[in-house]
């Protein structure tokens, strides 16, 4: 699975990457090297981040489904459970 970004997101990522390199590494990264570096990050590291996020989402959803089962369960045929206590008291 290839991770792709929207055009605006790509532009912001490239701007951030170039600024980081300039400020933190004292390295002026031109447009093409920045694009190639971003593509490398998306192909090489992106799947690990994606898989981790999917695992978090699955865990979150599993917890919500478990809560839903408890919150939405109604006992069936409760009348006889109540009246059994009344009959036993007679």
When pLDDT is cut at 50, 70 and 90, the band that residue 84 belongs to is low
- For the record, the structure tokens of 34 come out as 């920045």
Would you state the pLDDT for residue 88? 53
HEC secondary structure over 15-75: HHHHHHHHHHCCCCCCHHHHHHHHHHHHHHCHHHHHHHHHHHHHHHHHHHHHHHHHHCCCC
Assess whether pLDDT exceeds 70 at residue 77: yes
Assess whether pLDDT exceeds 80 at residue 87: no
Contact 48, 3 (CB under 8 A): no
Start-to-end CA span in the chain (Å): 70
pTM, entire model: 0.69
Cα distances (angstroms) measured from residue 77 to each of 7, 24, 74, 82, 86 = 58, 68, 9, 10, 16
CA dist., res. 50 & res. 53, Å (int)? 5
């Amino acid at each position: 699975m290839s991770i792709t970004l929207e055009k605006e997101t790509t532009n912001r990522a490239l701007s951030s990457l170039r600024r980081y390199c300039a400020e933190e590494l004292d390295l002026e990264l031109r447009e093409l090297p920045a694009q190639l570096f971003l593509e490398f990050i998306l192909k090489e590291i992106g799947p690990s981040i994606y898989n981790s996020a999917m695992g978090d989402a699955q865990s979150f959803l599993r917890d919500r489904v478990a809560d839903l089962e408890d919150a939405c369960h109604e006992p069936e045929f409760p009348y006889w459970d109540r009246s059994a206590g009344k009959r036993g008291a007679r």
